[in-house]
Structure formats: structure tokens, C-alpha cells
């Protein structure tokens, strides 16, 4: 499949467990069927992520994590990272 781009799904506040909970599976599947990859991650200390979860984090900290994710995807030439959406 030719990937048209990559959609990053960013969680709101609260703990996450993306893999075990199959979070947003139907949405991610629909995005995939439209030709786009998806990327999302568990928050620190949630799911299989290391660290300690802290509720109520600063929005600017969360925005920085999203920008770091985008940079990482582009730097590693992940398929679809030349066309990223949120």
C-alpha cells in the first residue's frame, strides 16, 4: 500500500493504555483504509511506557512531546512522515 501520509492521534488528559485497550481502533482502521498511517503513544507511566504518570500536565509540555514525535518520525524517515497531520 502506498502511504499518503501519517496522522498523529494525541490523547487528552488521563491515563492511557493504547495497545491493551485497542484505543481508537475503529478510527485508526478507517484512517488506514483511506491510505494513511497512524501514530499514537501511551503517556509516561501508562501502558508499557516507563516513568511516572502525572495528571494535569502543562499543555506546552504536551505540545513539545508532539513536536518531538514529529521530528523523530521525519528524522527516521518513517513511511508517511513527509505529510503529517494531527
Q: Give pLDDT, residue 49.
A: 84
Residues forming beta bridges with residue 36, ordered by sequence position: 5
- Mean pLDDT value of segment 14-23: 83
> Is the model more confident about 42 or about 79?
79
What torsion, rounded to 10 degrees, do the Cα atoms 21, 34, 4, 22 define?
0
Domains in the chain, number: 1
Interatomic CA distance for residues 57 and 61, integer angstroms: 7
Interval 21-59: pLDDT, tens: 888 899 999 999 999 999 998 888 888 888 888 777 677
Instruction: Determine the structural domain holding residue 32 and report its residue range.
Output: 5-85
DSSP state of 5: E
Give the whole-number percent of the chain exceeding pLDDT 90.
50
> What cell was used for 18?
493504547
pLDDT of residue 30: 97
Q: How many residues belong to the chain?
A: 86
CB contact at 8 A, 39 and 7:
yes
Amino acid at each position: 500500500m502506498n502511504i499518503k501520509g501519517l496522522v498523529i492521534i494525541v490523547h487528552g488528559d488521563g491515563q492511557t493504555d493504547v495497545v491493551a485497550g485497542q484505543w481508537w481502533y475503529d478510527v485508526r482502521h478507517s484512517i488506514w483504509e483511506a491510505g494513511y498511517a497512524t501514530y499514537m503513544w501511551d503517556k509516561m507511566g501508562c501502558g508499557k511506557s516507563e516513568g511516572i504518570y502525572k495528571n494535569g500536565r502543562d499543555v506546552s509540555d504536551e505540545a513539545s512531546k508532539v513536536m518531538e514525535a514529529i521530528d523523530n518520525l521525519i528524522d527516521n524517515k518513517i513511511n508517511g512522515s513527509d505529510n503529517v497531520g494531527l
